[in-house]
Structure 1
């Protein structure tokens, strides 16, 4: 069967196509009775407005593109929740794709999003080259968990340096001295988290030890297996990375936190699972999504031109994976 059209809805409801269009756009100029008639006719026919067609017809897009670098990381699902809730309340819909943590795939995903002619685009944790971001900036752009100096691009980040310092301070207060940081490699915001760890270790008179990693479970496990000298605590790149750390420690016969303490980063739902109980650094995920949507929509509506540099403060969430080091 052909997809029902606005004309079909108008005929079923006994009104004009123009009135159906007003109802679908949420116009207050339609009476309650006619609105009900149109919505009932649309429901009976299974009609829903096509966002792209509506945007092209009105020359005003109500679509926001969202590129998620890593769909496997639950952190981004919670950011999207916050972004989607605020965008829908403002009358926008989302089109979402992924770049798979690959610069070339992200560049392709960004080109695909622009083909939808969105009002604006949010890039979540992007690793794509800055030149590709600049090339796409003919529409408003916001980056989440990535910094930028481009005046045409807004950013939303947590204070990664402060977050890592919170983790180090917590572990040192418990008595740890041999603290390893498994970093996020070339991933977004890995550098400030690494720097925060190094500065905090130096402040406590301790020697930093950074193991190269990625924001993945496999990288966390591999990094732990590669460590040769003793350690009593690990600050993981993120919660997924920390789960890999926990797995590798269990394989080695080491208990958490009796033998090794582990701290993650993000405070996703994964960290709160009872059988994991991960001590972690909390980023306010839904708030970051809401801030991204707010920044994007204010640009779309022409309410400002200056770049927004929004920074949220991380907090420490203590659970079951940290404790004092065992007596040597």
Structure 2
């Protein structure tokens, strides 16, 4: 590295930035350093590779560590990215790591586009500024930030299907553990309300505060158990919430679905666990991945500039957590 710096009359720090493929140096400086490194035999294979590659063809994916659905989506993105000759770079949001930091890291890695899974804490105008630099596709929500694309599922229809299923089994007192203002939660709440009212069950509407975590589901179950009468069925805002609710009910000696039928949302891996066998609203992660990276390719390869927003249908996967109410 010192030889390259001396040969060019530049600092070792600058050479390090170029060979480390970090942002900062201009394109002309980067090419000059890489050519010198290759000529001098310093990691010639890496230098030559970076020199030949005008584009990174790398897509950055921002996700959280909390939700199994995020992991399912990440897994689905990899093969689709490979099919389109892209690589994937991951950046996680953590309690001590902001979304802004995660985005900056991905941009610094020369990602050509960003995929944001789930919640975005960025104000629309801030996300629009990011979209001015690289294409941005949101999965699971639409912030209406200028220049962004989105792929999500029809949450209203999905939860209405869950209510229809429970009513078809004979349930009337159906509660909904809702997710507050989290991504897609308002739409899921709307689907529940429309479903109940569509069946003439306005008097049985029962909204229980919650969130997309097992802890929130457990708290909701505790609140329900404190009542004199349990609802005969509960539609949870996601599978994690449903799992927390079911485990708390079972520990309290209540049977699922004997005492309470439970429906989740996402049809994540957790829903398919043998001890849960959770009835859940399914989101097609493979199709979501295809459309997400298709939107990226349209931006990068075809030069599309207008925004696209896709809403996919959902289906209800019926398993063992729902049954007719006891007489």
TM-score of the aligned structures, taking structure 2 as reference length: 0.79
**How many Å separate the matches in 1 of 2:303 and 2:190?**
35
Distance of aligned partners of 1:326 and 1:135 in 2 relative to their CA distance in 1, 3 Å threshold? same
Answer whether contact 1:114 1:136 (CA < 8 A) is retained. Answer: no
Over 3 Å counting, the alpha-carbon distance change for 1:246 and 1:56 in structure 2 is: farther
CA distance in 1 between partners of 2:104 and 2:94 (Å): 15
- Specify which of 77, 81, 90 is matched with residue 87 of structure 1: 81
1:75 correspondence with 2:69: yes
Matches of 1:115 and 1:238, distance apart in 2: 33
Indicate whether 1:96 and 2:90 are aligned: yes
Runs of 4+ residues over 6 Å off in structure 1: 47-50
CA contact (8 A) 1:242 1:264 kept: yes
CA positional deviation for 1:56: 7.4
Q: Secondary structure at the match of 1:76?
A: helix
- Given candidates 164, 176, 180, the residue that maps to 2:159 is 164
Alpha-carbon distance change, 80 to 53 in structure 1, aligned in 2, over 3 angstroms: farther
Q: Which stretch shifts more, 168-177 or 108-117? A: 108-117
Map Cα deviations across residues 115-139 of structure 1 (whole Å, 9 max, x no partner). 1121100000023122332231120
Gaps of 5+ in 1: 3-46
Give the corresponding residue for 1:249: 249
Query: In the alignment, which residue of structure 2 is the partner of 1:21?
Result: none
The answer on whether the counterparts of 2:125 and 2:145 sit within 8 Å (CA) in structure 1 is no
The match for 1:281 is: 281
2:11 matched to which residue of 1?
none
Go from structure 1 to structure 2 and tell me whether the alpha carbon gap of 1:53 and 1:234 turns closer, same or farther (over 3 Å shift): farther
What is the match of residue 175 of structure 2? 180
Is residue 56–residue 112 contact of structure 2 (8 Å, CA) maintained in 1? yes
Q: Which runs of 5+ in 2 are unaligned?
A: 2-42
Q: 1:232 to 1:292 in 2, by over 3 A?
A: same
Residue 211 of structure 1 aligns with which residue? 208
How far is 1:81 from its partner?
Answer: 2.2
Q: Please name the residue that 1:233 is paired with.
A: 233
Residue 215 of structure 1, CA deviation: 0.7
Q: Equivalent of 1:145, from 140, 149, 161?
A: 140
Distance in 1, Cα, partners of 2:197 & 2:44? 59
* Count of residue pairs the alignment pairs up: 279
With normalisation by structure 1, the TM-score equals 0.79
5 Å-filtered alignment, 1:45-60, equals: 58-60=53-55
Which of these residues, 56, 61, 65, is aligned with residue 56 of structure 2? 61
Aligned counterparts of 1:142 and 1:83: Cα–Cα separation in 2: 13
State the 1:155 CA deviation.
0.5
* Alpha-carbon contact 1:86-1:294 (below 8 Å) kept: no
2:110 maps to 117
CA displacement, residues 238-280 of structure 1 (integer Å, 9 cap, x when unaligned): 1111110111111221101110000011111221122211111
Judged with a 3 Å threshold, the aligned counterparts in structure 2 of structure 1 residues 96 and 309 are, in CA distance, closer, same or farther, namely same
Mapped contact 2:171–2:232 kept (Cα < 8 A): yes
CA distance in 2 between partners of 1:246 and 1:88 (Å): 38
For 2:66 and 2:234, the matched residues in 1 are separated by: 22
8 Å CA contact 1:101, 1:126 repeated in 2 = no
Distance 1:53 1:141, change over 3 A: farther
What is residue 39 of structure 2 aligned with on the other side? none
Contact 2:158 2:314 in 1 (8 A): yes
Q: Is the 8 A contact 1:81 1:289 kept in 2?
A: no
- Contact 1:101/1:127, CA 8 A, preserved across alignment: no
- Structure 1: distance between partners of 2:240 and 2:44: 38
Contact 1:82-1:285 within 8 A present in 2 as well: yes
Other-structure match for 1:190: 185
Structure 1 Cα separation of the partners of residues 111 and 235 of structure 2: 39
